[in-house]
Amino acid sequence: MTRDHCGKHVSHWKAYNLALRQRGSLTIYLGDDLERKWDQPLASGEQGRPLVDLEAVIALGLVLQQVYRLPLRQTVGLLHSVLDLAGFRALPVPDPSTLCRRRSGVALPTWPKAGGCVVVDSTGLQIRGPGTWLTTVHGLQRRTYRKIHLGVDPTTSLVVAGVVTSCQKHDGQVLGDVLAVAQPRPGAVVIGDGAYDRRRCYAAAKRHRAHLISPPGKRAVLHPGAAWRARNRAIEEARFLGRPDWKVAVGYHRRSLAESAMHRLKSAFGQRLRSRLERNQEHEALLRAHLLNRWVTPTTAAVA
């Protein structure tokens, strides 16, 4: 039994410990009849040379790159090693340019189905600029990043939606896109921090027949009109109960699970995207979110 700083313990530590060890394993199942399927040209129906490498081969390389946090050239070397260990040394491996060029065309898995509650948040992934040490020593310098907005099911800790935007996009502007991907069930609860205390966010939740929980500002005022009805109710309840008790009453603290997902994302894959093109950056960030769903997540329980 292992406790964390919040006074909780992981209730399935043995299985979770085994899953953590398996993340570093090089055991890969490549399927049956690999030699015939691997080197099979694809007819795209368009003029020009057919695609030599299967999409599954490209996807395997991109997954290995993210899991082991490798540049594309080192990823090619790892693919050669995997085929070597499997006894298929003669099979061709896509070059780094091919992996980069075809990254955005690889189909991603479908998102898990959202439950009765979705917690939303965003985080930044750096794409260029000086690192933390340079900015600390030499002062603030411009760093550019992409924002990934995630919707997480607090019951299963699975990421049920992901949207990548530029750093100029405010969280409130993207909530509608996140809910469009998550497709929450009617009557679901959507929980976000104060950045989602916007009229457009309440309107987006209403379009998807969901109930938005976002703490109103300390100086929030009531507004007339049906569009402000849900927010006015939150303001009145927060004033009557007090903000701390209101958060407990509505279950707002489940939102911290979205921050946990952001921490897991950056801990597992780093804080920087390697791709240079915008469409490739979007694919790379979303692939990381999908990989999180493939790994066992810690289930905690309060210590009595």
Q: What is the pLDDT along the chain (304 residues), one digit of tens a residue?
A: 444 444 455 666 777 788 778 777 777 777 777 777 676 655 555 555 555 667 888 898 999 999 999 999 999 999 999 888 888 888 888 899 999 999 998 999 999 999 899 999 999 999 876 666 666 666 666 668 899 999 999 988 899 999 999 988 999 999 999 999 999 999 999 999 999 999 999 999 999 999 999 999 888 889 888 888 889 999 999 999 999 999 999 999 999 999 999 999 999 999 999 998 999 999 999 999 999 998 877 666 655 5
Which pLDDT value is given to residue 5? 41
Of 97, 55, 60, 66, the residue nearest 80 (C-alpha): 60
The whole-angstrom separation of Cα 4 and Cα 269 is 22
pLDDT at 24: 77
Tell me: do 123 and 265 sit in the same domain.
Answer: yes
Q: Is residue 20 part of a domain?
A: no
Residue 49: predicted pLDDT: 52
Instruction: Tell me how far apart the alpha carbons of residues 25 and 263 are, in angstroms, rounded to a whole number.
Output: 22
AA letter at 212: L
What is the side-by-side strand order in the sheet with 158-166? 158-166, 144-153, 117-128, 189-191, 211-213
Domain end marker among 85, 105, 125? 105
Is residue 220 included in any domain, yes or no?
yes
**Using CA atoms, how far apart are residues 114 and 151, in angstroms rounded to an integer?**
9
Do residues 76 and 64 make contact, with C-beta atoms less than 8 angstroms apart? no
Question: Could you give the number of structural domains in the chain?
Answer: 2
d(CA 148, CA 273) in angstroms, rounded, equals 11
Report how far residue 172's alpha carbon sits from residue 153's, in angstroms, rounded to the nearest whole number: 19
Task: Please check whether residues 264 and 156 belong to one and the same domain.
Answer: yes
Mark whether 169 and 265 lie in a shared domain: yes
The predicted pLDDT at position 144 comes to 82
Do 91 and 142 fall into the same domain?
no
Last residue of a domain, one of 105, 136, 151: 105
Q: Give strand ranges (E) for 180-225.
A: 189-191, 211-213
Torsion angle in degrees (nearest 10) through CA of 269, 281, 107, 287: 20
Distance CA 189, CA 171 (A): 17
Q: Give the span between the Cα atoms of 237 and 252, in whole angstroms.
A: 13
Among 60, 83, 105, the domain boundary falls at 105
In a domain, 281, yes or no: no
Is 96 inside a domain boundary? yes
Q: Check whether residue 271 and residue 129 sit in a common domain.
A: yes
Q: Is 153 in contact with 271 (CB distance < 8 Å)?
A: no
Separation of alpha carbons 22 and 140, rounded Å: 40
Instruction: Give the pLDDT score at 6.
Output: 47
Query: What's the Cα-to-Cα distance from 113 to each of 62, 136, 162, 254, 276, rounded to whole Å?
Result: 25, 42, 13, 18, 31
The C-alpha atoms of residue 287 and residue 65 are separated, in whole angstroms, by: 11
Statement to judge: residues 123 and 251 lie in one domain: yes
The two structure tokens encoding residue 300: 């905690």
Same-domain pairing of 168 and 219: yes
Q: Domain for residue 17, yes or no? A: no
Instruction: For residue 140, count CB atoms less than 10 angstroms from its CB and return exposed for 0-12, middle for 13-18, buried for 19 or more.
Output: exposed
198 belongs to a structural domain: yes
Amino acid of residue 270: G
| Position 213 in a domain | yes
Do 101 and 183 lie in one domain? The reply is: no
CA proximity to 10, closest of 289, 231, 299, 283: 299
Task: State whether 76 and 101 are in the same domain.
Answer: yes
Indicate whether 122 and 96 sit together in one domain: no
Q: Are residues 37 and 94 in the same domain?
A: yes
Query: Are residues 133 and 246 located together in one domain of the fold?
Result: yes
CATH number, domain of 258, equals 3.30.420
| 3-class state of residue 165 by DSSP | strand
53 lies in some domain: yes
Residues constituting the chain? 304
> Distance between the two ends of the chain, CA-based, in angstroms?
13
The residue segments making up the domain with residue 100 are 31-105
